Structure 1
Amino acid sequence: MRDNNSIGPWIRRFLLEHVATERNLARNTQLSYRDTLVLLLPFLSKALGKAVDRLSIDDLSPASVRSFLRYLEKERRCSGATRNLRLATIHSLAKFIGMHSPEHVAWCAAIRGVPFKKTASSTLTYLDKPEMEALLHTPDLHTALGMRDHALLLFLYNTGARADEAAHLSLEDIKWGTSPAVRLVGKGKMRWCPIWPRTADVLKPLIAGRACGEFVFLNRLNQPLTRFGIYAVVRRTVAQASQALPSLMAKTISPHCLRHTCAVHLLRSGVDINTIRAWLGHVSLDTTHIYAEVDLEMKAKALALCDLPKETRTRPWHTDAGLMSFLKAL
């Protein structure tokens, strides 16, 4: 008879069947779930004086979960956001067990009753157009690495691609022709994104002479650039550009910041919110609405500073015309 009370087999099913197969979560999300359990199981084993393979479902009680969360914050110095991320994994594990084992439904409800901690919402960082242009003009186009850095930054700005998506981009993902586009795969989802003429002009010489299956962005050793390498390129370029434009020093700029910049600039050009959602690959429109709220907040601040007449404080949103003017400006 199967022992439904031992937590080991449930964790195995949770990671290998539910997270990886049934939900098909992104690889980084799978690793995050695993990392939480790598921390949780030794903590329970030490606290209860039991071997890891002897732990039962009842050993994971609301009290032990709260102790684990305190351990994360006090001893490991984790932020509130990280604490909530770890708790979300535990909630997900409890839900999985409760759905497949009716006798553990009450236990599941108790575990999922451990609340998340309220944390301050993070500020969305993006670059204004002069700052973005300063970043794009920083790499030395007379060198091979400078050309690659320029192409990478422009690609991130054009597509709003995540660092992992750009790192895994291959030549076969790009469709040339009268309307160039790129296929991006991230978080288990695929989307097509248009390539601006300006971006196409810098990508073509970068990949000239390469085979179809090769990666687009390579490092000094002609190996695929990793997402950590992409972070390094952005940080290095920002450090150089900050010497000429000090406003960059006040912002925390990462590849994801360029994704935010792409969305805000598209919105300001008049592109509708649904198009931006598809452009960035968001599942929920609520995620994309963050950019609309940020843009409205910035406009309100600008109006307050300028003290414009009431009749000039609103203007109609443009759609296709705004998009075309934005693309031509690039």
Structure 2
Amino acid sequence: MTPIAPLIEAFLNETLARQRGVSRHTRDSYALSFQLLFMFAAKRLKVSPSALTLEQLDARLISAFLEYLEDKRKNAPVTRNVRLAAIKSFFRFLEYRQPAALEQVRRVLAIPFKKTDQRLVPYLLREELQAVLDAPDPATRDGIRDRAMLHLAVCAGLRVSELTGLKLEDIDLSSMSIRVLGKGRRERTLPLWKTTAAALRAWLAVRGRVAAPEVFVNARGEPLSRWGFAYLLKHHAATAARAHPGLSKKRISPHVLRHTCAMIILQATQDIRKVSLWRGDQDETAATI
């Protein structure tokens, strides 16, 4: 029997973190998927999670786990598919580590994803976007920071992890550009709009000397988290909605800002490939608009 613990540790810490260079957010999502799976398997098999073996995680148990997610935890099909994607990624890793388990791997990889309805991602109209960008108070340190963050999120179409992970060394205001390290450690350089560069200069002037190398920090000098940015965005969206009531009907998330950038670039260039390159999409031939 093959203990599962060292295999999972190697997958998360070596393959995902070091070899593939995936983001911390992705690793956390994978880790949560396995935590839920192991809790389910341990209860079902009446063993402790640390005693689970690879042979016990067969296609039948994983299918039962996916049913549990939907029936008991009331997860939507899209969440079920996220958990299954993490499991399949791990079993593809096992193909090269455990040749004796190839048939087990084949059966797990054959488990189908569920079809989901693809919802169109909303984006902000020009007046709505301006209301959100103007929401932070430019007379306060936090307001100056938040205004710079919002401008940069829209201008560059950054993922939240790219925005919160941006470092001082990645900004070149003399050439009005930034360097972004995206998914799969793919690097891209993006120009800054004049308003974005001005907002960044204003923030860097009041940021002060802190130990953290990240551009955006809180009052304690610590890097802002993705959840911190989402909270601030929600707060400023509510402020903007008071000036522009139409915003109250839209759920404004970090992804909406990224999608708004895509629409701005598409309208300006009429070239979807440039949208993909700008946003750092994995498939440069087809950005999802």
Helix, strand or coil at the partner of 1:134: helix
The structure showing larger relative contact order (alpha-carbon pairs under 8 Å, at least 6 residues apart) is 2
- 1:168 match: 165
> Given residue 255 of structure 2, which amino acid in structure 1 is its aligned partner?
H
- Where in structure 2 are there 5+ consecutive unaligned residues? none
The higher radius of gyration belongs to: 1
102, 106, 113: which one aligns with 1:105: 102
Match of 1:186 in 2: 182
Which residue of 179, 192, 195 maps to 2:192? Answer: 195
Cα distance in 2 between the residues matched to 1:55 and 1:125: 43
- Distance in 2, matches of 1:66 and 1:114, equals 8
AA aligned opposite 1:159 = A
Query: TM-score if structure 1 supplies the norm length?
Result: 0.80
Which ranges of 4 or more aligned residues in structure 1 deviate by more than 3 Å? Answer: 209-215, 220-223
Moved more, 236-245 or 97-106: 97-106
Q: Deviation at 1:287?
A: 4.6
Whichever residue aligns with residue 181 of structure 2, its letter is: V
> 1:25 is matched by which residue type in structure 2?
V
What is the letter of the counterpart of residue 132 of structure 2? L
Secondary structure of the corresponding residue to residue 183 of structure 1: strand
Matches within 5 A, 1:53-64: 53-64=50-61
Quote the offset at 1:127 in angstroms.
0.5
Alignment of 1:234-249 (within 5 A): 234-249=233-248
Equivalence for 1:228: 227
AA aligned to 1:28 is: H
Q: What corresponds to 2:14 in structure 1?
A: 17
AA matched with 1:94: F
* Aligned match of 2:72: 75
SS in structure 1 of the partner of residue 95 of structure 2: helix
Q: Distance in 1 between matches of 2:220 and 2:74?
A: 37
Residue correspondences, number: 286
SS at match of 2:190: strand
Equivalent residue, structure 1, for 2:254: 255
Residue 271 of structure 1 and its aligned partner are, at CA, apart by 5.3
Q: TM-score, normalised by structure 2?
A: 0.91
C-alpha deviations, 1:20-43, integer Å up to 9, x for none?
Answer: 233222221112111111111121
Q: Does 1:114 align with 2:111?
A: yes
Find the residue that maps to 1:241 and give its secondary structure.
helix
Is 1:29 aligned with 2:29?
no
Q: CA RMSD in A?
A: 2.1
Map of 2:47 onto structure 1: 50
Maintained 8 Å contact 2:160/2:254: yes
Q: 5+ residue gaps in structure 1?
A: 292-330
Distance in 2 (CA, whole Å) between partners of 1:57 and 1:272 is 47
Aligned 8 A contact 2:136 2:147 in 1: yes
Q: Decide which of 120, 124, 129 is 1:132's aligned counterpart.
A: 129
